Amino acid sequence: MTNLNKGSLVCVGTGMRMGGQLTPIARSYIESFDVVVAAIPHIFTRKWVMDVSKEYICLNSYYEDMKIDGKNRRDTYRRMADTILSEMRSGKRVCAAFYGHPGIFACISHMAIADARAEGYDAHMEPGISALDCLVADLGIDPGSYGMQSMESTQFMIYQRMIDPTTLLVLWQPGIAGELALKVLETNEEYLQVLVNKLALTYPLDHEVILYEAATDPLEKTRIDKIRLGDLPQAKLRQITTLVIPPAKTLERDQAIIDQINAITASLTKLRAAA
């Protein structure tokens, strides 16, 4: 069912770095849609979006909700999505803007798009440049070389996960690792020790890991701190830190599969020669 109300929704990303990482299509939605609803932490990016948009609704203060008794991050995200949806339901073309990629570790846009579509509105997402894209460029790591696993730090801690030490492991949000109450945006040495203990089942404690923080404007320096895994609990982690764990083991060939493929190739070659 298509909703005849003319409201619509597009979710865009502003990239990680001020100036240059905004895609032309994201820019055109920001400039031309009736209202931009956004949670953009970087002050200069926020200021630019405010200046070029027709109307701007800032969601940043909604994070204060977490301090209210009985409320946590999930309530904040739901309220952000509801604000986006109520602007759309009032008939506006809404551009919801988030830093990085609007759909990577950004549940608000996924919630808003799913709800908008369920109500019959046009809603879609435009990709943006994420922290992972910057990481690949800044660290010179090709996820194609050894494969890559990528997950949220607390999720890794509290669920049974299969970690493959021959691939690159990217752990997002280590700066709030173990914060199960979803009330504050920080972690502590004790929670990080639990994370290290779990990682130590797969990696040696002296394995070199990287604390990565992409520069968010041209004046900032990208953080690439290489430390021992065992030293992680004492390291300074921020909300924007990503933990990068390079492979600890080399890839081993699966000879049985290689033999199967070679046998198939040999029989195909024989059939072709006989044809």
- Between 63 and 146, CB nearer to ligand SAM: 63
* 122 or 152: CB nearest ligand SAM: 152
Q: In whole angstroms, how close is the CB of 25 to ligand SAM at the nearest point?
A: 16
Q: Active-site residue 73, yes or no? A: yes
Candidates 48-56, 67-75, 115-123, 236-244 — which segment interacts with ligand SAM by CB under 6 A?
236-244
Which among 121, 138, 115 is positioned nearest to 8, based on CA atoms? 121
Q: Which of 17, 46, 77, 191 is catalytic?
A: 77
Half-sphere exposure of 56 (CA within 13 A, CB side): 18
Considering only residues 45 through 104, tell me which ones interact with ligand SAM, judged by CB under 6 A.
98, 100-101, 104
Q: Which of 17, 29, 46, 73 is catalytic?
A: 73
Structural element, H or E, at residue 56: strand 56-58
Residues 6 or more apart whose Cβ sits within 8 Å of residue 199:
163, 229, 245
Applying CB under 6 A, among 57, 148, 224, 240 the residue interacting with ligand SAM is: 240
Please identify which residue in 9, 211, 216, 244 interacts with ligand SAM, judged by CB under 6 A.
Answer: 216
Query: Is residue 15 a contact residue for ligand SAM (CB under 6 A)?
Result: no
- Binders of ligand SAM: how many residues, by CB under 6 A? 19
x-or-dash string of contact with ligand SAM, 139-178, rule CB under 6 A: ---------------------------------xx-x---
- Is residue 239 within the footprint of ligand SAM (CB under 6 A)? yes
Closest distance to ligand SAM from the beta carbon of 268 (Å)? 44
CA–CA gap between residue 126 and residue 106 (Å, rounded): 13
Active site residue 203: no
| Helix segments in the chain, DSSP class H | 24-32, 43-52, 73-89, 107-118, 131-139, 143-146, 153-158, 189-199, 255-274
**What distances in angstroms separate CA 134 from CA 15, 214, 217, one per listed residue?**
9, 7, 13
**Taking the complex as a whole, how short is the minimal distance between the CB of residue 137 and ligand SAM, in angstroms?**
12
Q: Are strands 8-13 and 93-98 parallel, antiparallel or unpaired?
A: parallel
Rounded to whole angstroms, the Cα distance separating 178 from 193 reads 10
User: Which residues neighbour 49 within 8 Å (Cβ) at sequence distance 6 or greater?
Assistant: 14, 30, 36, 38, 40, 56, 97
Is 27 annotated in the active site? no
106 part of the interface to ligand SAM, by CB under 6 A: yes
Q: Provide the annotated active-site residues.
A: 73, 77, 99
Q: Which residues bind ligand SAM (CB under 6 A)?
A: 16, 98, 100-101, 104-106, 130-131, 172-173, 175, 212-214, 216, 239-240, 242
